[in-house]
Amino acid sequence: MRTELILRSVLSLAPIGLAVGIALAQRPSRRGLAGVLVALLWNTWSLLAVNLVAIHFGWWAFDASLPSFMGVAIEPWLGWTILWGAFLPLAASERPLVPIIVAVFWLDLIAMPLLSPVLVVGRSWLLGEAVAIAFALLPSLLFSRWTATDTRLKERAAMQIVTAGALLLWLVPTAAIAKADSWDAIYAIPSWRLSLAAQVLIVPIALGVRAVGEFVHRGRGTPIPYDPPKQLVTSGPYSYVRNPMQLSMVLIFAVGAATLWNPWLLASAAIAFAYGAGLANWHEGIDLESRFGQRWSDYRAQSRNWIPRWRPYVESEAQLLVAFSCSTCSSVARWFLARNPVGLKIAPAEDVEDSGLRRVTYVATGSEPVRGVAAIARALEHIHLGWGATGWILTMPGVSHLAQLMADAFGPSPHAVVGLPYEKISCEVRSERLAGFYRGECGRRCS
């Protein structure tokens, strides 16, 4: 018993002491602290997942008398999370990763067999160690380094989405369900209710994912503190509501609470709302006002924190380039013009000096052009909230690729725009001239 208490104390306190010690010695920058934060969050869920797999395959096991979560002893899990998520990112800093990975492997090779009875290794535990390093340690070190050095923006944004999904859709609901009941209670819920909840959840999930994407493409930053966007983001979901990520999180918890009748998930939604409406709103307001001044004040006057607008607030006009010489594409132009989009100009692709233009293209200030189904999805955000939500779903990873494949299979294939055989091809089509355009009058001569 005494040996077990000593081991539990070491597993709990030693990582904290090492992390605090190296932080005091190095005094990391704000971006360095952001790197530590993302590494900690990554290891929190990934090490739990690895331990669950290890228990299932018998790579190692924990003393059943220890405080645990989902069968994983809390002290070793959190100890390794702090060691790999805080101490090692600071210790590794700019050093080569290969020697660090090798050193960690050998240290675990020595330490883990000595942790009995807290942790008892099985015959194939080295395989589990390799999986833990490949799935938890190495990605977290890369995640931390990319964040600290402000590189690989798209990769670290994708890792943030994965981390948020693991925490919001797995870890927090699991903790709430374990507190109130068990996962077995889900089997008693009618299938229609689960199906409806899954469909409703698509909207807040797509909202959160799209908001992160807009931070990346427009703001050149991420939602993590100390790694914020470099430009004020007022487009995409932000053209409807000021806090789309926090709204997404609250809605996910609220839908889960209503589906499972779980008071702990409802409490999670209330806490998330209180944090977003209180501390986060106060801190972000001060930060954004100091960095963006009048632009932020103008945007804040046009948007609300939690209740979305029906029609978007568009700060700068965007263009949807459509080939008017293509009958299917021109019907897309007519569809958008008939709905009077806000801040979106439908322009002939034939007028653009881009020989590589082969799909409908969305062009906005401060971001790279977007083509195909993704361009249509962006344009939908200029109509109203309902079509905007449809656009957010279409831009989700996997959904956009599948939609593009279907569009290419059943619609016109991508082709180069060769220009219109008219005397003057620079023709801006307005909604009041739409009928004339589709009779061919606008194409023959623009006046």
Residue 315 φ then ψ, to 5°: -80, -40
- Same-domain status, 291 and 376: no
- Same-domain status, 215 and 94: no
Q: What pLDDT score does 440 carry?
A: 42
Instruction: Output the DSSP codes for 23-78.
Output: HHHH---HHHHHHHHHHHHHHHHHHHHHHHHHHHHTSEEE-TTS-EETTEEHHHHH
- Same-domain status, 144 and 157: no
- Same-domain status, 16 and 135: yes
Q: What is the 3-state secondary structure (H, E, C) of 169-193?
A: HHHHHHHHHHHHCCHHHHHHCCHHH
- Same-domain status, 365 and 269: no
DSSP state of 67: -
* Chosen domain end from 246, 280, 315: 315
pLDDT 10s digit of each residue in the chain, 447 long?
Answer: 677 888 888 888 999 999 999 999 999 998 999 999 999 999 999 999 999 999 999 999 999 889 999 899 999 999 999 999 999 999 988 889 999 999 999 999 999 999 998 999 999 999 999 999 999 999 999 999 999 999 999 999 999 999 999 998 899 988 888 776 666 667 778 888 889 999 999 999 999 999 999 999 899 988 887 888 889 999 999 999 999 999 999 999 999 999 888 888 999 999 989 888 876 677 777 888 888 999 999 999 999 989 999 999 999 999 999 988 777 788 889 999 999 999 999 998 888 776 667 889 999 988 889 999 999 999 999 999 999 999 999 999 889 889 988 888 877 677 776 554 433 343 444 444 444 444 443 433 333
As given in the structure block, the two tokens for residue 149 are: 């050095």
Measured CA angle at 142 (ends 136, 143), to 5 deg:
80
**Spatial CB neighbours of 439, under 8 Å, sequence gap ≥ 6:** none
- Same-domain status, 328 and 408: yes
Q: Which pTM does this prediction carry?
A: 0.85
Measured CA angle at 227 (ends 225, 233), to 5 deg:
95
- Same-domain status, 308 and 325: no
As given in the structure block, the two tokens for residue 81 are: 């999370």
- Same-domain status, 22 and 50: yes
Give the residue numbers spanning the domain of 387.
Answer: 318-444
Residues 238 and 388: their CA atoms lie apart, in Å, by: 11
* Chosen domain end from 270, 297, 315: 315
Number of domains into which the chain is organized: 3
Residues 324 and 344: their CA atoms lie apart, in Å, by: 16
* Chosen domain end from 151, 176, 201: 151
Q: From the centroid of its chain, how far is CA 119?
A: 35
Sign, Cα dihedral of 2, 3, 6, 12: negative
**C-alpha Rg value of the chain to the nearest Å:** 26
- Same-domain status, 48 and 162: no
The SS3 call for residue 29 is coil
Residues 204 and 245: their CA atoms lie apart, in Å, by: 9
Question: Side chain identity at 344, as an amino acid letter?
Answer: L
- Same-domain status, 137 and 147: yes
Sole residue written with tokens 């969305």: 362
- Same-domain status, 180 and 220: yes
Quick one: 277 exposed, middle or buried, by C-beta within 10 A (0-12, 13-18, 19+)? middle
- Same-domain status, 34 and 95: yes
Q: Are strands 68-69 and 72-73 parallel, antiparallel or unpaired?
A: antiparallel
* Beta bridge mates, 348: 322
Residue 429 φ then ψ, to 5°: -90, 125
- Answer for the pair 8, 118: CB distance below 8 angstroms, yes or no: yes
